[in-house]
Structures are given as structure tokens and as C-alpha cells.
Structure 1
Amino acid sequence: MSVNVIRTAPWLNKERVRGYLFIAAAANIALIIWLLATARAGVDRNGFLIGTDFISFWTSGRMLLAGQNVYDMAAHIATQQQYFKAADGFTAFFYPPTFLPFVAPLGVLGYFPALAVWIALGGGLYLAAVRGWIGQVGAGAPLWLLALAFPPVAITITHGQTSFLLAALLGGGALLVRDRPVAAGICFGLATIKPQFGLLIPIVLLLTGQWRAIVSAGVTALALAAISTLAFGTAIWADWLAISDQAGAAMATGAVGYGKMMSAFAGVKMLGGTTAAAYAVQAAVSLAVVATLIAVAFRRTYDLGIGALMLAGAPLATPFVLDYDLVILAFPLLWLAAQPDRDWQRIAILLAFATPIFARPLALATGVPVMPFAMAALFAVVARAIIAERREASPT
């Protein structure tokens, strides 16, 4: 295959893309059905509880209702293992206290009803945000097909993760900044439940002069922190800070599994680099993302292109990102797909869309990280599209 064929990707026409989407959607549906059909008493063929990561959220909800400290690791493990004792240990809970109001209601329900409600509500909010973006940029396929075909959607469902909720807040906020900045700020403030993905938001809002969104986000974040403090006590913050070092150590030592992580940091570690080298590379990537955002957004009016670039850069800028977190890439993918066709654009969209389905198994099997490169390609092509759009719109 020649470089020109890859650069222009003429074979990725609308009809073929639609066919690929149907195939991917069918594969994702079949995977979930197979997972459920082969499970026994809620445990899959590999010995994992259906919903895997959700057990830590549900356990936290049960503990909060019982007046227990969710950040007491020994108590958390004991409570979790009362319901399910995994062969490979337990699922840790390192989320900040601002996340506790979201998980506390889960403890009222049994595990599987709570899991169903969690996925349904989070997924509904995510689809609403995606529909909003489609309304602004258009799409060549229906929402249901895009959602079912996108691999991170299936990964999020099978893990019972927070990714739908977080992506809905960030994607919805990015969509609302221009016309409803206060509502956008509320979304961004609530997204502090997973703060590593919001690192670029204040930079973009400052660069584009979105002061109402900034104030709204700050007030919302403080209000959420106050609600958490009033509900669960002031000591909850010290307890969380006390285990934060454990979270950093878990990431640095590979307790999570470098193959499961999609960041530049994890890629360097997977290839045998030292922790210092991994952090240095991650810092360089993060700084490059920030520098690009500054170049694109400085003294510019906020638009959806800048929002797409911000969301494309979010998973690149943090060392701790997993494959289910990549549902956030739906927004920059939608924006980019609606832009005039340019070299490398189709292939960048294909890589960012499809790579999450095999990035983790490939990394675990071979030690080769591929997702950081796919994310970097998407970010670079989105930035180039914004610059090209502005150049074409400027008078000659």
C-alpha cells in the first residue's frame, strides 16, 4: 500500500465506513451478549464479576450508608469481599470526596440493579451530549449506530466505569461554552470527580476569555466539595489525601497494569523505561498539548473546534488514562469528520476510532503501546484542521 493511499485513504468512503460501523456494532453487541450468556451467578468465564470496576463504587455506596470510611483500605477490601472475592485481589477506590455524592445512592440497591441504573443513567447522559454535538456538526450515520460501533462504549459498559458520566460532563460543557457559559461551567465543575481529565479546561477558558464559565465552574466545584464535606465530614479530605500517595505508587509500580493504561507514561514504562523517564516523556507530551492549545486558542473566540481540540488533548495530557476513558474521543471525532477532507484526516479518524478495541490486548500480549500514537495523531490532525479552516476563512 503506497503512502499516497494511506494519506488520502480513498477506500474509506461513506458507504464502506457505514458498513464497517455495522460490523463493529454487531461485534460489540455479540461480545456483551456472549459475556452475559456465559456468566455463572454474575461471574464471567475469566472469574471476573460482571461490571468489574463497578464493585468499588457500589461498595463505597454501601459503606457510606453504613457510616464507614471508604478510604480505610482494609475496611473497603473487607466490605467488598463480603460480596465478591476476586481471584486477583480487589478493586481500589481512589476517587476524591467530590465523587462520594454520586456513589452514595448506589448502596441503596443490590449490586446488579445498581450496575444497571449506573450504566443507563451515565449512558443516557453521554448519548445526550453526543446528540448535541451531532446537532452542531452533523453526522453521516445515526446516533445509535455510532454509539454501538464505538469500541470504548462497549468497554465502558463491561467495566461499569465512570467514563460515560465524565465524558457527558466534559463533552456537554465543551458544547455549551459559547451559548450557555454558566451551564458549561456547572458541567466542568461537576467533572472534578475525575480531575486529571480537566487539566486543559481552565487553560482554554482563560485563553478564550470565558469568564462566566470560569466563575461558574469554580463555584460548582466548591459547592460540590461543600456538599461532600457536610454529608461525610471534614475528615474525609484528610483520609483521601492519605491514600493519594498509594494511588500514585500504584500507577508508577504498574499495579494497575501498564498494558491497561493508554498514556505516554505507561508506554515508556511498558517499553522498559524508568519511572523518571516515563514522567519526563509524559511531561513533554503534556507541555506539547498545552503549547498547541495556546497557539490555537490565544485571543480567539471560543468555538467547537477549540472544544474538540481540548477534548482530544485531555487523555494525552494525563499519565493515568485507560481504554474506557476514551469514550471522550467521540466528540473530537465527530467534529473532525464534519470538516473538509484533508490528507491524513481519514486515517487519523480510523485509528482513533478503532485502536481502542485492540490497544489493551496488544499491549498486554506484546508490550507494544499503540494508543498514545493514535491519540497524538488525532490531536495533531484536529489542530491542523482548525488552523486550515482559519487560513481559508481569512481574506487573501
Structure 2
Amino acid sequence: MKEKTTGFEGAPNWLTRQRIALYSACILLMELVYLAIRIDGAYVRKIPDFFALGWDFAVFWAASLVTLHGPASNAYDVALTEPIVSALEHAAHRPFPAPWVYPPTFLLAVKWLALLPFAWSYMLFTVLGMVFSGFTWNRILAAPSLSSWLPVLAFPALWITLLSGQNSLFTFGLAAASLVLLDKKPALAGVCIGLLAIKPQLGIVFPLVLLAGRRWRAFSAALITVGVFCAAAGFALGFETFSKFIAAVPQFSKLTVDVNWAGGMPTWFGIARHFGASPIAAYLTHAVMAAPSLALAAFLFAIPSRATLRAAVVAPATLLCQPYLRGYDFVWLALPIAFLILDARRHGWLKGERAVLVTVWLAPLVFFFPPNLQPALWLPPIMAILAGIIFRRARMVTHLIPPVMSETTDDSAEVRTPAAHDVPAD
């Protein structure tokens, strides 16, 4: 039986399999030290305003608590949720409120969180997210050993998500499942896409690419899933929650425009605002800079491109078109990394690609840097370069790319992912 590999066989000496494991272990050790510092500051020394673990999950838990003890629309009442959140975060003097601005679909999913004490609920939520995302990752790029899992476990964006208690592991899992299933089980892929209604801005690229690729079954299934999900949330929580949500969105949008985010907002909009652009000029700049990645995603789905490249382009296009992002959203960068490694296993590497993927993997570390360095502003250019190498790989004629002939290269991963070439539209 052929040995399963990481996909970096044939790499230069500085990027051997052993060094990947070693460097990942070093990063993981640093993240564990950071975790220990957070625990010591928040729970042992009890430093004022030193955020406790699960600072974003606190918003979910507070929304669940007020929903369980009153109308679901109370989740959108900052006066009710803010004291709960501040107490859970160990932050007595927050610079701005932490409102619930998620749609009723997500409120329906997390309504039950407060049935458990905060700490237990946070741990259960985190474990379920890791299991779900880990399962879907393994469906893309099987990791046969602990050394193969080290880069996954050490991925900086994963730790940002775990520490904050965000829902990114669930949205990652849904996006990954939809891309894996799209060619073979389009209706089920559409259901996964529809469930992204828990955080609808992250599903914005999928309708575009499904229409461009004439994936009618997946598109119809996604549309029906969203409709059923919204109806279920309306009947369970009250349809007035939708009006509360619609009212909360512009208020939060104003907050994102007005606040000087520590470390910078990692979007084209954030870069423009950092350099003094007005909100309107920043939004226009953002639209112009995000358009190429959206066009690339639509183009790859419209032509007979390889499925791995179509799957790889969705995440950078999704992230680049968002005017508001935080560190935990960059868990999605694991998707293009995985699909490009898989494509390289089958067709070989092009010059500079491995260096770009290493940079993309390391990029979320910027959120651990001192905020005064404005490190997050580097993220959009890095993602644009990532989209560029996907485009370069897609435009190469397959037979011109030297195949990977390593004895240890494993092609069995094809059964775990979409077919290597386009299939007829459904």
C-alpha cells in the first residue's frame, strides 16, 4: 500500500516533511504558551479587563440566556445582553457594546447554549466545532499520522477561533462539505450551503459560482434550505426577530466604520479607512479591489476547470469581498491550502506556490502581534496573491504541468474529493 503524504514531497530542502512537522510543533508550542498566559491573566491574577476565554462565545451564551427567559427578540436588546457579556468576559469597562447581530437562523441554532453553565457550554461548542471541521478537512486531504495533523492543529486561525469561541469552525465545515459534495451529491452540497445562513455574509459567493457553473440542483437545494431554515426560525422564535435583526445590522455597520479597530481591519475597506479615506471612498475602493477575485471564482466555475481549483478559489473570494472580518474568519484559509495541496499532488507544483501557501498558513499570526503595528492590514494583499496563484495554475494546460512521480504520492485521495475535471452541469 502506498504511504499517504502531506503533499509537499519534492519540495526544496527547507520544506521537508520533517521540518514542516518541526515548525508546526514550534508554532503550536507558542500558541499553548499564549493560552497559558490568557488563563493566568484572566483566572489566576484576575487582571482587570483581561478578557476571559470565549469572549465572543459570551455573546452567543447571553443571547441564549435572554431567549430562554423571555421573548427571542430580547437577544437584540443590548441593554439586556451587555451586562451578561461584560461579566462573562471579565471586562467591566468595555470601549463599545458587544451586540447580538446574527440572524434568527443562528439564534435558533444556539438558543440552547445557556441550558449549560457558560464554561461547559463553551467547551462543548468548541469540541463540536473541532470534530465537525476536522472531519470535513479529512474528507479533503487525509492526514494519516500525528505529524500530518500538526500543521492543522497549529494553524494560527484555529487558535483565534478556539480562544474566542466563535462559530467559524462550523461555517468552515459547511463550506468544506459543500465543496467536497458539489460534483457527486449536488443537492446535499446545496443543503450545506443553505445552512451557511447562520452567517449569511460568508455564503455570498456560492450563489454567484453556482449560477456561473449552471449548478441548478445545488442552487435550488441551497435556496430551499435557506427558506426552510428561515421559516423554522420564524415559527420557533417569532418573526419579529427578523425585523430586529434588520434593524441591528445598520447599527453594527456604523460601529465597524466608526471604531478604530486594534490591529487594523483586515479588509480592503479597512486599509482604505486606515489611510484616511471616507466611508464612501473606502467602500468604493473595497468594491474595486474585491471584484477580480469574484470574477475569477465565477470564471473558474463557468469553464471546464479542475474541481480542486474551483474549490480553492471560493474561500479567498469570500474573504476578499467582506468589508468586515476578524481573525477567526481566516480559518477559511485552510480550504485553499488543502485544495491546492491536493491539486499539486496530482499535477505537480509551480514555482513559488509552496512559499505562498506557507505565508498564507502563517498569515493569521498577525493577530497575535502588538496592535500598534497594524499587522492585519497585510491580510488582503496576501489573499490577493493566493487568488493569483490559483489563477496561474488554472490557466496552465494540464499536460504542461509535470506530474508528481514520487513513489510515496497517494492518489487515493481522489475518492475523498470532487473529480479532477469538470462534470456536466446538472
SS of alignment partner, residue 29 of structure 1: helix
Q: CA deviation at 1:141?
A: 7.2
Equivalenced residue count is 382
Q: CA deviation at 1:277?
A: 2.2
SS of alignment partner, residue 267 of structure 1: helix
Distance 1:282 1:201 in 2: 19
Match of residue 129 from structure 1 = 136
CA shift in 2, pair 1:258/1:283, >3 Å? farther
Map 1:70-219 to 2 at 5 A. 70-81=75-86, 85-89=91-95, 90-135=97-142, 142=147, 144-219=149-224
Which residue, out of 375, 393, 397, partners 1:385?
393
CA shift in 2, pair 1:366/1:79, >3 Å? closer
In the alignment, structure 2 segments of 5+ residues that lack a partner are 1-10, 402-426
CA shift in 2, pair 1:117/1:359, >3 Å? closer
Distance 2:46 2:222 in 1: 40
Which residue, out of 28, 33, 51, partners 2:31?
28
Conserved 8 A contact 2:50-2:91: no
Conserved 8 A contact 2:43-2:52: no
SS of alignment partner, residue 101 of structure 2: coil
Distance 1:103 1:43 in 2: 29
Match of residue 237 from structure 1 = 242
Which residue, out of 259, 273, 279, partners 2:277?
273
Distance 1:304 1:250 in 2: 38
Conserved 8 A contact 1:134-1:334: yes
In the alignment, structure 1 segments of 5+ residues that lack a partner are 1-7
Match of residue 40 from structure 1 = 43
Match of residue 3 from structure 1 = none
1:54 aligns with 2:57: yes
CA shift in 2, pair 1:96/1:43, >3 Å? farther
Distance 2:132 2:148 in 1: 13
Conserved 8 A contact 1:258-1:267: no
Conserved 8 A contact 1:169-1:190: yes
CA shift in 2, pair 1:142/1:226, >3 Å? farther
Which residue, out of 310, 320, 326, partners 1:322?
326
Q: CA deviation at 1:294?
A: 2.8
Identity of matched residues, %: 24
Conserved 8 A contact 1:43-1:50: no
- Give the TM-score normalised by the residue count of structure 2: 0.83
Conserved 8 A contact 1:94-1:244: yes
Distance 1:359 1:391 in 2: 41
Give the letter for the 2:351 counterpart.
D
Conserved 8 A contact 2:257-2:279: yes
Conserved 8 A contact 2:41-2:50: no
Give the letter for the 1:174 counterpart.
L
Moved over 4 A (4+): 41-46, 81-85, 138-143
1:365 aligns with 2:372: yes
CA shift in 2, pair 1:52/1:79, >3 Å? closer
CA shift in 2, pair 1:285/1:32, >3 Å? same
Conserved 8 A contact 2:174-2:196: yes
Conserved 8 A contact 2:311-2:339: no
